[in-house]
Chains A and B, each alone.
Chain A
Amino acid sequence: MSVDAKQAPAEPTPLVRMRGISVEFPGVKALQEVDFRLFPGEVHALMGENGAGKSTLIKALTGVYTPAAGVTTLDGREVSFSGPAEAQAAGISTVYQEVNLCPNLTVAENILLGREPRRFGAVDGRATRARAAELLADMGLHIDPGSVLAEHPIAVQQLVAIARAVAVDAKVLILDEPTSSLDQDEVAELFRIMRHLRDRGVAILFVSHFLEQVYEISDRMTVLRNGRLVGEHRTSELSRLDLVSLMIGRELGALAEVERLAGQAGEEASTVPVLEARGVGRKGSVAPFDLRINRGEVVGLAGLLGSGRTELARLLFGADRPDSGQVTVDGRALHLRGPRAAIAAGIAFCSEDRKGEGVVADLSIRDNLILAMQAANGWARPIPRRVKDQLVEKWIKALDIRPANPDALVGKLSGGNQQKVLLARWLVTEPKLLILDEPTRGIDIGAKTQIQKLVAELAQEGMAVVYISAELEEVVRLSHRVVVMKDRAKVAELDQNATVDDIMRLIAHVDERPEAVAA
């Protein structure tokens, strides 16, 4: 499906035009028939929630991935790059979210690596520094070109990366979340440079999760959701609220039962606290916050990516150590030394990074299911085979895990089934508090519904749940209370009557404070 731009382009022909781009990974369609246009002399924002396909689109453009379908033209000529080097040679430079430079080399080397001035075949260190200083000065930056990159804060490194990208006379500059670690002044500096480049006719593709920034700098935006294009608009013609709803989408129907269950649960939510956090925080991660979670209650955490929602959850589980505040569980103080302490206190945590931090891919469903329980028991007391089989059979059935073969390797399962295995691993330990970080991301709608239903049921049975999701509909539907996160801090706590619009307004609200927290 393709949604064409609403307005006919009065502008010159696009510099970059991608048509019907599809990218597939084994078992996953990351992009489906996406159209994209980029004009010279514009800042074009690429918007979408996590997993919408922004990075994939960029990588399809720069040749990191080869699309399964679709045509890309640059300057009217059809192109297909074999990798970033080739794209760069054609005038497409990319600056990534993580600074992709070499921290062990100097600023000058990083800017000019691979095209250093040479004399008699040798790299001319002095000329390299001089050329780099020239480029930096041209961008209005005062950085010692002879200093080692690692000595600079990330923000400066990011600017160096941009200097490198510009040094090749790029026609297209792709900035993939360059601002996620910059403070306000640094962002202003970056924007100054971006405008400078735009005015020179460079086409800039800009990805950011900070709406204010997007509205400040971009001329036009393309919105993706779930690997599909949902719209291309002039920034001035799209309100923030419309943008957020385009990004997040609204699901209708099919979840009535969940709603009903959640409603029931809501009535029965108790006021007996399971966990209370006071002033818990971690420098550079989440500002200190208070949080109380009651028995049988689902507390939703809403916020855009990078708002601190994941970081908050990790602190509650001891996956990262808080450096301030106290946590009590069932009234007893809990020292969060690490996951084991949290688990012993009855807390369970499903990470958003299912593959990296969740399932153990090369182990069977059976082994994954009992892993947490076994870890708590210690190695010397193996769970008897009979008990194991009962547990595994019970949970495979209860959660409808497919294939229902306990010996199947978890790595071969679909995302939804992996998520269920992960859930079951914790449910086996009968936790008091279950923290779910994006349990429904990247899984099909059937599994999504099943998992939400399960959460509602668990709460009804008295379990406390912290539920994080990028999909606000989900959060609102399931939660008794919603905690809104923004800029790595808790900004509001809403009761059960909160609507998606309330939350969106809080998230989209133009903030007077600096929009990013220093890393």
Chain B
Amino acid sequence: MTSTRPLDRFRASGLLWPLVALLVLLAANAVVRPSFLALRIQDGHLYGSLVDILKNGAPTMLIALGMCLVIATRGIDLSVGAVVAISGAVTCSYIAGAGDPTGAGAAFAGMGIALALCAVLGLWNGFLVAVVGIQPIIATLVLMTAGRGIAMLITDGQIITVRNPAYRTVGAGFLLLPVSILIAVAVFALVALVTRRTALGLLIESVGINPEASRLAGLRARTIRWTVYVFAAICAGVAGLMISSNVSAADANNAGLWIEMDAILAVVIGGTSLAGGRYSLTGTMLGALIIQTLTTTVYSMGIAPEITLVFKAVVVIAVCLLQAPKARAVLLRRTRRRHTPPDPDAEAAGRPSTHTPTSAMVEKVAQP
């Protein structure tokens, strides 16, 4: 039941706990290091720890947005990290080999080719999942494995460095705020607009919640699933551009390593269930920010940054336990009956006997 009280509605939206977590993290930072919240403008650029968090988190946010829609359709895309590597590799190779490796033309052409290739990779994933019918985890595992090899093939195993101002803008440029933040926010706004202003969001959720009912209601379930994989790959492609542009180099081995895991984590923390269905783009963005802030916090507290992984693991398990209905039941069970009969849905697999008893009237005429 939706309540009219804003606080209740906010709580119902599932964003409360991610937001609290983010604020707690930020507060902890501010306490440990008072300069954490400070912002300053220098040469028309905004600097500060908060800006850094946003900037470093931008690729994860982008990928998480794509992942969010994939997960909403009951899928998952493990190949985004490899796509990140491929995207950077293609662009840098193109720029390095162009007639004018410093020109804006080369940068845009390279990025265009990279994103087109990413779209093709997304089509491939979508084909395996939606048409061939392979489980999403496995289908995208293929590209996850082969993708990095392809990226290295493109870069010939080298770290390709480029000096192209136009390209550098994507990941390291400033427009008061770092450009990568602006891109991430723009994509977020665009996706939010497209999914919520058109019917796409509804159709995606419907397919994720009940694929068969959706098919019978006339939805193009297959096309929808296909589309989200393409979108996820393009998001990963843009993120790949950011990562490679930021360092002006393509590192096929390490670019986007484990980023698929971060993205999945961001989606899950943001309150979207891995079982598909209802999704939250805002939650996903919050999730990505939490992950990035966590990394920064660990760093600023003088702990080795790699140990962030331990905290991530704890967060994943905690969030999953809170989400899983079974775990909730186990955790919340106090004095309930020993064996609650399972939901009648469980029985609906065979011939359902979800039967509401009819009124007493039927009873009276039971024996003719």
Contacts and interface: CB of A to CB of B under 8 A. Distances in A.
B352 interface: yes
Contacts of A377: 199
Interface string B317-337: 000000000000000000001
A83 B197 CA distance: 50
A287 interface: no
Contacts of A26: 343-344
A372 interface: yes
A22 to B, nearest CB: 10
B212 A230 contact: no
Interface in B1-51: 1-2
Contact of A355 (B214, B351, B352): B352
A124 to B, nearest CB: 35
A54 B278 CA distance: 36
Contacts of B341: 23-25, 65-66, 68
Interface string A288-330: 0000000000000000010000000000010100000000000
Contact of A25 (B202, B343, B368): B343
Given A305-B351, A414-B356, A379 B203 contact: yes
Interface stretch (B135-143, B178-186, B215-223): B215-223
A147 interface: no
A1 B363 contact: yes
B313 interface: no
Range class of the B interface residue count: 35 or more
A251 B361 contact: yes
B210 A361 contact: yes
Nearest to B364: A252
A245 B365 CA distance: 11
A445 B359 contact: yes
B345 to A, nearest CB: 6
A40 interface: no
A363 B202 contact: yes
Interface in A356-407: 356-363, 367, 371-372, 374-383, 405, 407
A379 B194 CA distance: 10
A349 interface: yes
B99 interface: no
B262 interface: no
Interface stretch (A132-140, A186-194, A221-229, A508-516): A221-229
Residue among A97, A353, A415 with max Cβ neighbours from chain B (10 Å): A353
A25 B213 contact: no
Interface stretch (A28-36, A103-111, A150-158, A456-464): A28-36
Given A28-B356, A251-B365, A340-B220, A367 B351 contact: no
Q: Which of B216, B338, B341 has the most CB of A within 10 A?
A: B216
Contact of A339 (B218, B277, B337): B218
Range for the number of chain A residues in contact with chain B: 35 or more
Given A377-B199, A382-B197, A444 B359 contact: yes
A35 B225 CA distance: 50
B345 A355 contact: yes
Contacts of B343: 25-26
B224 to A, nearest CB: 8
A56 B217 CA distance: 31
A382 to B, nearest CB: 4
Contacts of A358: 213, 216
A363 to B, nearest CB: 6
A66 B351 contact: no
Contacts of A448: 358
Contacts of A349: 216
A54 to B, nearest CB: 7
A443 interface: yes
A53 interface: yes
Interface string A192-233: 000000000000000000000000000000000111101100
B5 to A, nearest CB: 14
Interface in B338-368: 338-339, 341-345, 347-348, 350-359, 361-363, 365-368
B307 interface: no
Contacts of B344: 25-26, 28, 30
Contact of B206 (A249, A356, A371, A407): A371
A358 B213 CA distance: 5
B128 interface: no
Contacts of B350: 55, 96-98
B205 interface: yes
A344 B197 CA distance: 25
A371 B216 CA distance: 11
A32 B362 CA distance: 14
B200, B206, B353, B358: residue with the most chain A Cβ atoms closer than 10 Å: B353
Given A230-B367, A357-B216, A379-B199, A445 B361 contact: yes
Contact of B362 (A249, A374, A441): A249
Contact of B210 (A25, A254, A360): A360
Contacts of B365: 249-252
A45 interface: no
Given A379-B203, A380-B198, A53 B355 contact: yes
A408 B2 CA distance: 7
Contact of B356 (A254, A319, A375, A442): A442
Contacts of B213: 351, 356-360
B347 A249 contact: no
B353 A54 contact: yes
A166 interface: no
Which of B1, B2, B362 has the largest number of chain A CB atoms within 10 A? Answer: B362
18 contacts: A1-B363, A25-B343, A30-B355, A51-B352, A55-B347, A66-B339, A230-B367, A305-B351, A359-B210, A360-B206, A360-B214, A362-B205, A363-B206, A375-B203, A379-B224, A382-B197, A382-B199, A415-B356
Given A250-B365, A363-B202, A444-B356, 11 more contacts: A30-B353, A50-B353, A227-B357, A228-B357, A252-B361, A349-B216, A356-B212, A361-B210, A375-B214, A382-B199, A407-B1
Interface of B: 1-2, 197-200, 202-203, 205-206, 209-210, 212-220, 224, 277-278, 337-339, 341-345, 347-348, 350-359, 361-363, 365-368
The 10 closest A-B pairs by CB, nearest first: A51-B355, A66-B339, A375-B218, A25-B344, A382-B199, A343-B218, A379-B200, A375-B219, A65-B341, A445-B359
